[in-house]
A and B are shown apart, each in its own frame.
Chain A
């Protein structure tokens, strides 16, 4: 097989003509010859073959490529043709030929100028491990300078050698080592599919490589679950953290908490809408603008709720629960009336779209950002409670209302601000959640039970408990999911929490003492 030498025009045309014989072995030869020809038409022809756009006229032995837009060209010359001859039929393929086509396409793109394409081509060769590509790979490997591409080529070469019946034992052993080092699902599939008639040394090496890949894969799947768990945990924390203030610190059951989150998400939508129509250049900053606005909107609504409803119900938690539930219905319906019942489109800014690979797992930027964002909010809130005057007053009022009042703290102002703070944080959560969830009037409802579970599980009145609770539940959920399935996993978690609450009614980080029972 010669690749570098320019093929004669006549032999290319002969090779193309073989497609018209409607004979699988002729087609096979044609594929190899065309792929090796170096002719610029080779790629369009082979890819057309793959997609059944290559047709042949059995009478004239002419072969045609139909373009994706219906333009037809003569495959041998590249000249445009008005339309397909009437008796032209697509060139048929069987499974063996399909592999040959893939391998040929792989080798054709192995020499692409784009490194990403070269890697993709190498990967497809790895999968097909077609012997015919070996020469091309060897050749390309020698010329390659890019490290990543070189590694991909080496892996592809190893795959071919492993399946090549006349490769030496040494070559095969080397190949096993390379595949083992690759260590992913594909490497596993490659080794699993290997014919069993291997020399004993190679067979042993393969078995041990498979075991090693297996444990490697198990490890990565753990890492993946842990990452998904952290990601879910950050979403739970985000939804629950405002509740940790209103329910945890103030003891107010706010069933409309989810609607504060929803308001934050809709604020994001409105901000993006304005930016899209007026200042398209600012789109990447839309979330930065939405965060303070969402805080203000949800916080203001929170203050209104506290002043208008909740302050009349202090000390009557069950009534508060009912009134705020009613409020959540009103808010949902109000948003439904204003924005319609369907999902609204909230876009990801460029810095939040895309993903990167870490080992064998893919981490999307939006999930990563949400995790960082959540932790940042947590730290800010913690610092605020500890170091600011409002935080101090807040803690004073919740610990001993009468004492705080007699020391000159305006308790009702503190109540309103605390509730506003909790609601505002829920609003900020809405900005983040708008990036990964559907923005609809029901957005909040889907989080309310989970958020309460997190706060109750973590222990009321303890922000750290909320943090640990959220991540524990998130990770537990993601580790249960592969075993039990998504829904059953969630049910299992709910049942476990119900049992847990009964064991420790005051959560993981419970406060002890006489005051608790009051």
Chain B
């Protein structure tokens, strides 16, 4: 009747997902480190880093799915939270360079020396300590999301209006971070990292550790999302998604719920960005570009929104395709394909891969004769019914 939180949050597909991610998180680093280079099963280091990047994108996709799939908030600015988390980590990595920079200044990063800055700006204080940077990875995106959401949700900015102003938010940040006097390296961003917690960021071992950590973070983020959506709060979120004003009339403070889940999601995006930066070795303002945020939304749509597993899957599939096509002779056609993906998924596959699979699976079960149970079992996966325009 009232199922326990943990058992509920771990249904079969969730368990499979966690096992796969955990398996990859352990096997890929092991194969890279233990097997001899050139062996058929050895995963080369560049692939470890590449897949690490995908895993970070999967975390970002989860964070978007949490608010879009379950609460109907389409953020077109989630790349901003990702990038802010990335910058927080990047600042730590910059401070770790110390006097090994081109100008050899023990405190100031190279770009500040280049710009003749006499001293470190106050907002760079503390980033020489890992724990502080790690905290900021959550705090900075979370705080921005909280402030933004506090204003937006209280004044009931919803639907496409919200999407457009989130887009404007990331655009404003893009313009800001491009400026040299913002103190984040202008359009070059932060790069040339040397080490993290004393380990060389380029080293195979570090890369494998980062990959493992990314997988762990993905599992952690997934568990948090599952716990949230399978709690009663998750039901309230769905209620808000499907009939916001009805939920209000039941006495729920809708804005508090949205604020909670938006902030949580931004923190998750921040963590994804923080893990991303040491693996790709650079963070620059282009991460704030509105196109990036929209692209992340399409990963979720491809995988199937409101399914969590689908979001992560979509991120990996689309990015794998991107890597595959942009590095081959089909490179000039990649944008055509990406554009077509946006159009075709929304038109033909509105539930995404996992959502469509779920529907098909339920259908099959009904045909096999135990219909009622099948449709009842699926309660969070159903895509919201479109509201006809009036």
Q: Mark B167-193, 1 if CB is under 8 A from A, else 0.
A: 111011001101100000000000000
| Interface footprint category on B | 35 or more
Alpha-carbon distance between A315 and B297 when the two chains are bound, in angstroms? 19
Docked Cα-Cα span, A343 to B32, in Å, equals: 46
Interface pair A321/B343, CB less than 8 Å apart: no
- Give chain A nearest CB distance to B302 CB in angstroms: 10
CB distance from A446 to the nearest CB of B (A): 10
Q: Which chain B residues border A270 with CB–CB below 8 Å?
A: none
Query: Would you call A315 and B388 a contact (CB within 8 A)?
Result: yes
- Find out whether the CB atom of A313 lies under 8 angstroms from the CB atom of B346: yes
* CB <8 Å contact, A253 and B160: yes
**A-chain residues with CB within 8 Å of residue B245 when the two chains form the complex:** 517
Greatest chain A CB density within 10 A among B168, B245, B338, B345 is at B168
CB-defined contacts of A253 to chain B, threshold 8 Å:
160, 163
How many residue pairs between the two chains, A and B, have CB atoms under 8 Å in the bound complex? Answer: 130
CB of B8 closer than 8 Å to a CB of A:
no
A456 to B159, CA, bound (A): 13
- A322 close to chain B: CB less than 8 A: yes
Per a CB cutoff under 8 Å, which of B155, B160, B176, B345 touches A318?
A: B160
Is A494's CB under 8 angstroms from B160's CB? no
Contact, CB under 8 Å: B339 / A321: no
Out of A312, A316, A334, A505, which one reaches B155, CB within 8 Å? A505
Q: Which among A323, A332, A456 is the interface contact of B335 at CB below 8 angstroms?
A: A332
Which residues of chain B are near A498, meaning CB under 8 Å? 148, 151-152, 165, 168-169
- Please encode chain B, from 313 to 350, with 1 for each CB lying within 8 Å of some chain A CB and 0 for all others: 00000000000000000001101101111110111001
- B29 CB to closest chain A CB (Å) equals 35
Does any Cβ of B come within 8 Å of A327's Cβ?
Answer: yes
Which residues on the B side are within 8 Å of A488 (C-beta)?
A: 176, 179
- Among A314, A322, A494, which residue has its beta carbon within 8 angstroms of that of B342? A322
Within 8 A of A (CB), among B129-148: 148
Query: Across the interface, which residues of B come within 8 angstroms of A334, CB to CB?
Result: 336
Interface size grouping (class) on chain A: 35 or more
Q: CB-nearest residue of chain B relative to A504?
A: B155
Contact with B along A336-350 (1 / 0, CB 8 A): 110000000000000
Q: Are B343 and A449 in contact (CB under 8 A)?
A: no
Residue of A nearest to B305 (CB): A318
Cβ of A376 within 8 Å of any chain B Cβ, yes or no, is no
Contact with B along A50-80 (1 / 0, CB 8 A): 0000000000000000000000000000000
Say yes or no: is B272 at the interface (Cβ < 8 Å to chain A): no
Chain A residues closer than 8 Å to B160, beta-carbon distance = 253, 317-318, 321
B390 contacts the other chain (Cβ, under 8 Å)? yes
Find out whether the CB atom of A322 lies under 8 angstroms from the CB atom of B297: yes
> A485 to chain B: closest CB distance in Å?
9
A35 to nearest B CB, angstroms? 46
Closest chain A CB from B146 CB (angstroms): 14
Chain B hits for A318, CB < 8 A: 74, 159-160, 163
- Among candidates B165, B301, B339, residue contacting A328 with C-beta atoms closer than 8 Å: B339
CA distance A357 to B11 in the complex (A): 75
> Is A502 part of the contact surface with B, judged by Cβ < 8 Å?
yes
Contacts of A319 in B (CB 8 A): 346, 350
A316-B386, A518-B390 known; A333 and B157 CB under 8 Å? Answer: no
| A501, CB-defined interface residue at 8 Å | yes
- The answer to whether A503 touches B155, judged by C-beta atoms less than 8 angstroms apart, is yes
Give the nearest-CB partner of A313 in chain B: B346
Given contacts A327-B339, A490-B175, contact A449 B167 (CB under 8 A): yes
Residue of A nearest to B348 (CB): A312
Q: Which residue of chain A is the closest to B178 with respect to CB atoms?
A: A487
User: Do residues B159 and A322 form an inter-chain contact, with CB atoms below 8 A?
Assistant: no
Knowing A322-B294, A333-B336, the reply to whether A502 touches B154 (Cβ < 8 A) is yes
Also in contact, A515 and B343, with CB within 8 A (given A321-B74, A490-B175) = no
In the complex, A322→B349 CA distance in Å? Answer: 13
Closest chain B CB from A313 CB (angstroms): 7
**Contact among A251, A312, A336 for B347, CB-based, below 8 A:** A312
Query: What's the minimum C-beta distance from A242 to chain B, rounded to whole angstroms?
Result: 16
* Residues of A close to B388: CB separation below 8 A: 315
Docked Cα-Cα span, A333 to B338, in Å, equals: 11
- A498–B167 Cα gap in the complex (Å)? 10
Give 1 or 0 for each of A251-263: 1 = CB within 8 Å of chain B CB. 1010100000000
> Residues of A contacting B164 with CB < 8 Å?
449, 452-453, 456
Bound together, the chains give a CA A254 to CA B128 distance in angstroms of 45
Q: What are 30 contact pairs spanning A and B, CB under 8 A? A: A312-B347, A313-B346, A315-B389, A316-B386, A318-B74, A319-B346, A321-B74, A323-B346, A323-B347, A326-B340, A326-B343, A329-B342, A330-B343, A333-B332, A401-B390, A449-B167, A449-B171, A452-B167, A453-B164, A453-B168, A487-B179, A488-B179, A490-B172, A497-B165, A497-B168, A498-B151, A498-B169, A502-B152, A517-B245, A518-B390
The 7 closest A-B pairs by CB, nearest first: A326-B342, A329-B339, A330-B339, A315-B389, A333-B335, A502-B155, A518-B390
New A-B contacts (14) at CB < 8 Å, excluding given A327-B343, A333-B332: A253-B163, A315-B389, A316-B386, A325-B294, A326-B342, A327-B342, A329-B336, A337-B332, A401-B389, A488-B179, A490-B175, A495-B172, A497-B168, A499-B151
Query: Taking beta carbons and an 8 Å cutoff, which residues of A are in contact with B?
Result: 251, 253, 255, 309, 312-323, 325-334, 336-337, 401, 449, 452-453, 456, 487-488, 490-491, 494-495, 497-499, 501-503, 505, 515, 517-518
